[in-house]
């Protein structure tokens, strides 16, 4: 049943890609059909995913497509079900949001059909990916996902910036895909076959399994966007249409994490703790650098994209901890790390999509990407403002919203480091936790900046002044996600209970204690060690607020007197006197200066002089650019062999002949 629903989801998403083709003349019909089918696929996926989470045993199916001796194997186990549900959920929300949002592109230079076509393929590829149970169908759906999202990134290709971003994206996707392919190749070589079942039973020695792991790490890391493989992400996510950014950032990165988990836990099996150290290290670096780079951005979507790097880092930290414990024969603690990571996957999917949808609403209304041009939007679009605030609180890992719970679980996992034998490891792990704390605090700083600059204060541009309330469908979509942020934040016990099933499936071990004390208390290991009463937190805050309000608010309703804000006696305030996003992050820029390649100075604008600040990404400047230059230099060298002289050409073949003759004799 679950698998049938999942297949229905795949088919519906493919139908949403293809069915509207005959109707592409009518925007209304096109949008209606495409997004309706997409919504159906979302519902089917969520339902199917849930059923799979609670199913007794995984459902399997063999489809007669693919390579002749390797038909397409589908398998839906709890892990796949969980990610299927995530994809479905966000797809569903996006299909609510989409019809209104894409109105912007109607009558634009690009036909809407392209957008709906590739959205359908993109979503379908992701569904298929989590269902795939052999390397070929996995890789095929992986690449379908990459390519169709490439077309979505390149959708507004009239801008050179978008084309460059799309190119970089596809190139890195290609490289990553090849690495994954190789990783599967290693497994298949040992396991005699490309089905996951055959690969999982492969017996590898530790050096080969490490090679396979590293390949998978690079391959999936490239898509997930861990530092230093993240450079495509802040370029590609901002230029895609916002609902696509939500899908890419909220879901596609998760799919990469899914692949990583599937590969490491399910296919490789015997995890070495060294892998965990690597994952933890890269995760910490991604989390910290991601947030630091995000802090310096003032393009809203670019900022959010860097936050994706951060959150993927946090997920990887959880996974790294889990792998360290799994490699040290502590399955119970490994479960804790894994559950933290999975929980954060879900949370990030929800709040990052929410934020991207919010950003989309802002862009839809004000046509501004730049934070420095926004301001005061809370008055123009209050519902979006509330939902966005929820997203900001969630992503900053503040209680009682969902982001906090998963980070808390990650902290708990990190604190169990003392259970390890090695002193070095058990002192390094708390350091990772300190990095996580720093990351969380910086994220909060960053979102104070985002919210404060974009929604609060005074409008900084004409566009921001003219923004209006978005259409109800868009607001509903945001509202659903905001509500989910709260629900996932205050009902962690229930969620962890569900995630337990995945952990039991993968590691053979759950967290029985976590949910043993009722739905009020989340106690990952033991109530005496740590506990978190999320519903009570909400209740406490609510009660305190209510009491304070009731006690302090005057009984008589008199209108509150307002006056001008204090201007130090220099005359009326203007929006230009407000703190800017750049100014807001200045102290941190000074503190962490070496992290970025900063170039600042004054430049003549013609009418006067203006402050100019350029923040460069070291990974881009020191790794990717030289690599590109090297490639071009090599290409330039190689062109010498095609010099135009026929005698030289003949000499090549002559000497090749002599060389080969010499070789054989």
Partner 1 sequence: MIYLYLTLLLPLAGTLLLALIGQQRTAGWVNLLFTIATFAASVRLALEVFAQGVLLSPGKLFYVDAFNVYLILLNALVGMTTAIFSGPYMAHELKIGRVDAGRMRLYHAMYQGFLLTMLVALSTNNLGVLWVAVEGATLATVLLVSLYRTPKSIEAGWKYFILCGVGIAQALFGTVLVYFAAERVLPGSDEALLWSVLHQRAGEMDPAVLTLAFVFLLIGYGTKVGLVPLHNWLPDAHSEGPTPMSAILSGLLLNIALYALVRFKMLIDPAIGTNLAGSMMMGFGLLSFTVAGLLLHRQQDVKRLFSYSSIEHMGLMTFAFGLGGPMATFGALLHMIVHSLTKSALFVTVGHVSHVAGSQSIEKIRGLIHTQPVIGWCFLIATVALAGFPPFGIFASEFLLFTATMKSSPWLVIPLLSGLAVAFAGLFRHMQRMVYGDAPEGQVAVKANMWPVILHLLLVLWLGISIPAVLVDWLDQATIMVVGKGVL
Partner 2 sequence: MILSGLPLAEQVILTLASLILFTSFLLLAQSRLFGLINTFAWQGVLLFLATIMMAATYDRHHLYISAALTLGLKVFFIPWQLRRMVVRLDIFRQVETVVGGSLLVMIGAGVLVLFSYYVVLPIRELALLSIRNTIAVSLAVILIGMLMIITRRKAVAQVIGFMSMENGLFFSAIVSTSGMPMVVELGVAFDVLVAAILFGIFFFQIRAGIGSLDVDHLNRLREGDQ
Partner 3 sequence: MIGWLLAISQALLFLLAAPLMAGWVKWLKCRLQNRKGPPPWQPYRDLAKLFGKEVVLAETASPVFRVAPYMVFSVTALAGSVVPLLTVGLPTSAIADVIVLIGFFALARFFLALAGMDVGTAFGGMGSSREMTISSLAEPALLLAVFTLAMTVASTNLSTVIAHLATEPPQLYPSFIFAALAMALVAVAETGRVPIDNPATHLELTMTHEAMILEYSSRHLALMEWAAMMKLLLYGVLLANLFIPWGVGLTFTPAAVGWGLLAITAKLFFLGIILAVTETSLAKMRLFRVPQYLSLAFILSLIGLLSHVILER
Asked whether the beta carbons of 397 and 440 are under 8 A apart, the reply is: yes
Q: Which residues contact 443 (CB under 8 A, 6 or more apart)?
A: 291, 294, 307, 310, 395, 396, 397
Please state the closest distance from residue 53 (CB atom) to partner 1, in A. 29
Please state the closest distance from residue 652 (CB atom) to partner 2, in A. 10
Please state the closest distance from residue 625 (CB atom) to partner 2, in A. 22
| Residue 575 exposure: Cα atoms within 13 Å on the Cβ side | 16
Alpha carbon separation from 179 to 151, 165, 216 (Å, rounded): 22, 21, 6
Residue 157: which of partner 1, partner 3, partner 2, none does it interact with, CB under 5 to 8 A by kind?
Answer: partner 1
Binding mask 588-627 for partner 2 (x = CB under 8 A): ----------------------------------------
In the complex with partner 1, the residue whose CB is nearer, 207 or 557, is 207
Please state the closest distance from residue 278 (CB atom) to partner 2, in A. 42
13 in contact with partner 1 (CB under 8 A)? no
Q: Tokens for 517?
A: 């004390």
654 in contact with partner 2 (CB under 8 A)? yes
425 in contact with partner 1 (CB under 8 A)? no
Binding mask 541-560 for partner 3 (x = CB under 8 A): xxxxx-xxx--x-------x
**What is the rounded CA–CA span in Å between residue 451 and residue 605?**
29
In the complex with partner 2, the residue whose CB is nearer, 550 or 661, is 661
In the complex with partner 3, the residue whose CB is nearer, 178 or 389, is 389
Per CB under 8 A, which region of 35-43, 46-54, 268-276, 534-542 contacts partner 3?
534-542
Instruction: Give, as ranges, the residues between 485 and 544 that touch partner 2 (CB under 8 A).
Output: none
321 in contact with partner 3 (CB under 8 A)? no
Instruction: Give, as ranges, the residues between 494 and 513 that touch partner 1 (CB under 8 A).
Output: none
Binding mask 100-129 for partner 1 (x = CB under 8 A): ---------xxx------------------
Nearest to 378 by CA among 395, 394, 361: 361
Place of tokens 């569900």: 498
**What is the rounded CA–CA span in Å between residue 248 and residue 237?**
7
639 in contact with partner 1 (CB under 8 A)? yes
Number of residues written out for the chain: 665
- Binding-site size, partner 3 (CB under 8 A): 84
383 in contact with partner 3 (CB under 8 A)? no
562 in contact with partner 3 (CB under 8 A)? yes
Please state the closest distance from residue 643 (CB atom) to partner 2, in A. 5
Query: Which of 550, 560, 568, 664 is close enough to bind partner 1 by CB under 8 A?
Result: 664
Query: Which of 19, 62, 174, 619 is close enough to bind partner 1 by CB under 8 A?
Result: 174
651 in contact with partner 2 (CB under 8 A)? yes
- What DSSP letter does each residue of 501-552 carry, written as one string? HHHHHHHS---GGGGTT-TT-B-SS-TTT--B-HHHHHHHHHHHHHHHHHHH
Instruction: Give, as ranges, the residues between 624 and 643 that touch partner 2 (CB under 8 A).
Output: 636, 639-640, 642-643
Residue 550: which of partner 1, partner 3, partner 2, none does it interact with, CB under 5 to 8 A by kind?
Answer: none
- The pairing of strands 70-76 and 597-604 is unpaired
Nearest to 268 by CA among 208, 316, 318: 208
Instruction: Give, as ranges, the residues between 582 and 611 that touch partner 1 (CB under 8 A).
Output: none
Angle at the Cα of 302 from the Cα atoms of 301 and 305, rounded to 5 degrees: 90
Question: 530-533 long-range CB contacts below 8 Å, 24 or more apart?
Answer: 530/412, 530/415, 532/405, 532/408, 532/492
Residue 562: which of partner 3, partner 1, partner 2, none does it interact with, CB under 5 to 8 A by kind?
Answer: partner 3
Please state the closest distance from residue 175 (CB atom) to partner 1, in A. 5
Q: Which residues contact 424 (CB under 8 A, 6 or more apart)?
A: none
Instruction: Give, as ranges, the residues between 123 and 162 that touch partner 1 (CB under 8 A).
Output: 135-136, 139-141, 143-144, 146-147, 154, 157-158, 160
Indicate the helix (H) or strand (E) that contains 168: helix 160-191
Nearest to 500 by CA among 259, 325, 267, 336: 336
572 in contact with partner 1 (CB under 8 A)? no
How many CB atoms sit inside 10 A of residue 70's CB?
Answer: 15
Instruction: Give, as ranges, the residues between 103 and 122 that touch partner 2 (CB under 8 A).
Output: none
Residue 541: which of partner 3, partner 1, partner 2, none does it interact with, CB under 5 to 8 A by kind?
Answer: partner 3
Nearest to 9 by CA among 137, 127, 117: 127
640 in contact with partner 1 (CB under 8 A)? no
438 in contact with partner 3 (CB under 8 A)? yes
Instruction: Give, as ranges, the residues between 178 and 237 that touch partner 1 (CB under 8 A).
Output: 178-179, 181-182, 184-186, 188-189, 194
Please state the closest distance from residue 556 (CB atom) to partner 3, in A. 12
How many CB atoms sit inside 10 A of residue 594's CB?
Answer: 7
Q: 65: helix, coil or strand?
A: strand
Q: 570: helix, coil or strand?
A: coil
14 in contact with partner 1 (CB under 8 A)? no
Is the C-alpha dihedral spanning 511, 517, 519, 525 positive or negative? negative
Q: Which residues contact 502 (CB under 8 A, 6 or more apart)?
A: 53, 78, 79, 82, 338, 339, 342
Please state the closest distance from residue 652 (CB atom) to partner 1, in A. 4
Residue 430: which of partner 3, partner 2, partner 1, none does it interact with, CB under 5 to 8 A by kind?
Answer: partner 3
376 in contact with partner 3 (CB under 8 A)? yes
558 in contact with partner 2 (CB under 8 A)? no
642 in contact with partner 1 (CB under 8 A)? yes
**What is the rounded CA–CA span in Å between residue 94 and residue 349?**
12
Alpha carbon separation from 523 to 86, 99, 329, 402, 534 (Å, rounded): 25, 43, 22, 16, 11
**What is the rounded CA–CA span in Å between residue 462 and residue 113?**
32
In the complex with partner 2, the residue whose CB is nearer, 29 or 633, is 633
Alpha carbon separation from 97 to 262, 291, 476 (Å, rounded): 31, 28, 8
Nearest to 115 by CA among 245, 295, 276, 209: 245
In the complex with partner 1, the residue whose CB is nearer, 591 or 663, is 663
Interface residue list for partner 1 (CB under 8 A): 64-69, 109-111, 135-136, 139-141, 143-144, 146-147, 154, 157-158, 160, 163, 166-167, 170-171, 174-175, 178-179, 181-182, 184-186, 188-189, 194, 631-632, 634-636, 638-639, 641-642, 646, 649-650, 652-653, 656-657, 660-661, 663-664
Interface residue list for partner 2 (CB under 8 A): 636, 639-640, 642-647, 650-651, 654, 657-658, 661-662, 665
């Amino acid at each position: 049943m679950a698998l049938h629903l999942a297949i229905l989801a795949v088919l519906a998403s493919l139908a949403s890609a293809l069915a509207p083709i005959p109707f592409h003349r009518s925007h209304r019909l096109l949008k209606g059909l495409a997004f309706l089918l997409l919504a159906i696929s979302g519902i089917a996926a969520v339902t199917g995913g849930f059923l799979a989470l609670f199913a007794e045993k995984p459902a399997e199916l063999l489809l007669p497509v693919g390579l002749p001796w390797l038909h397409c194997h589908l398998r839906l186990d709890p892990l796949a079900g969980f990610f299927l549900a995530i994809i479905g959920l966000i797809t569903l929300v996006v299909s609510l949001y989409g019809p209104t949002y894409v109105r912007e592109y109607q009558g634009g230079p690009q036909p809407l059909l392209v957008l709906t076509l590739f959205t359908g393929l993109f979503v379908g590829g992701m569904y298929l990916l989590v269902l795939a149970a052999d390397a070929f169908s996995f890789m095929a759906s992986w690449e379908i996902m990459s390519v169709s999202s490439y077309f979505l990134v390149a959708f507004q290709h009239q801008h050179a910036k978008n084309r460059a971003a799309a190119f970089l994206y596809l190139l890195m996707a290609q490289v990553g895909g090849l690495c994954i392919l190789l990783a599967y190749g290693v497994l298949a070589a040992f396991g005699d076959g490309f089905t996951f079942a055959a690969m999982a039973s492969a017996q590898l020695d530790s050096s080969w399994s490490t090679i396979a792991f590293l390949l998978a790490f690079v391959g999936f890391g490239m898509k997930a966007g861990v530092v230093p493989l993240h450079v495509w992400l802040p370029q590609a996510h901002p230029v895609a249409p916002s609902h696509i950014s939500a899908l890419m950032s909220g879901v596609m990165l998760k799919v990469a994490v899914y692949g990583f988990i599937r590969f490491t836990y399910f296919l490789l099996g015997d995890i070495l703790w060294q892998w965990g150290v690597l994952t933890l290290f890269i995760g910490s670096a991604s989390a910290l650098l991601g947030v630091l780079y995000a802090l310096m951005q003032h393009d809203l979507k670019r900022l959010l994209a860097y936050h994706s790097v951060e959150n993927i880092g946090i997920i990887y930290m959880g996974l790294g901890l889990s792998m360290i414990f799994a490699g040290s024969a502590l399955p119970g603690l490994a479960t804790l790390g894994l559950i933290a990571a999975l929980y954060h996957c879900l949370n990030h999917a929800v709040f990052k999509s929410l934020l991207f949808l919010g950003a989309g609403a802002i862009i839809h209304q004000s046509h501004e990407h730049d934070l420095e041009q926004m301001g005061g939007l809370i008055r123009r679009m209050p519902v979006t403002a509330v939902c966005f605030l929820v997203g900001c609180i969630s992503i900053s890992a503040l209680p009682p919203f969902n982001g906090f719970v998963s980070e808390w679980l990650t902290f708990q996992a990190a604190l169990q480091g003392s259970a390890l034998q090695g002193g070095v490891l058990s002192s390094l792990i708390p350091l990772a936790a300190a990095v996580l704390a720093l990351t969380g605090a910086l994220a909060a700083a960053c979102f104070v900046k985002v919210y404060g600059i974009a929604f609060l204060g005074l409008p900084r541009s004409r566009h921001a002044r003219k923004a209006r309330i978005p259409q109800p469908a868009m607001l509903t979509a945001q509202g659903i996600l905001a509500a989910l942020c709260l629900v996932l934040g205050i009902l962690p016990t229930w969620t962890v209970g569900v995630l337990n099933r995945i952990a039991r499936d993968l590691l053979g071990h759950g967290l029985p204690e976590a949910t043993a004390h009722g739905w009020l208390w989340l106690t990952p290991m033991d109530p005496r060690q740590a506990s978190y009463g999320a519903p009570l937190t909400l209740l406490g805050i609510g009660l305190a607020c209510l009491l304070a309000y009731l006690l302090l608010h005057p009984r008589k309703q008199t209108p509150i007197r307002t006056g001008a804000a204090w201007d130090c006696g220099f005359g009326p305030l203007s929006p230009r006197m407000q703190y800017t996003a750049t100014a807001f992050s200045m102290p941190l820029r000074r503190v962490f200066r070496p992290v970025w390649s900063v170039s600042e100075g004054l430049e003549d604008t013609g009418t006067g002089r203006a402050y100019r600040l350029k923040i460069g990404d070291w990974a881009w400047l020191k790794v990717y650019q030289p690599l590109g230059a090297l490639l071009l230099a090599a290409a330039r060298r190689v062109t010498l062999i095609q010099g135009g002289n026929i005698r030289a050409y003949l000499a090549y073949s002559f000497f090749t002949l002599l060389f080969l003759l010499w070789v054989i004799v």
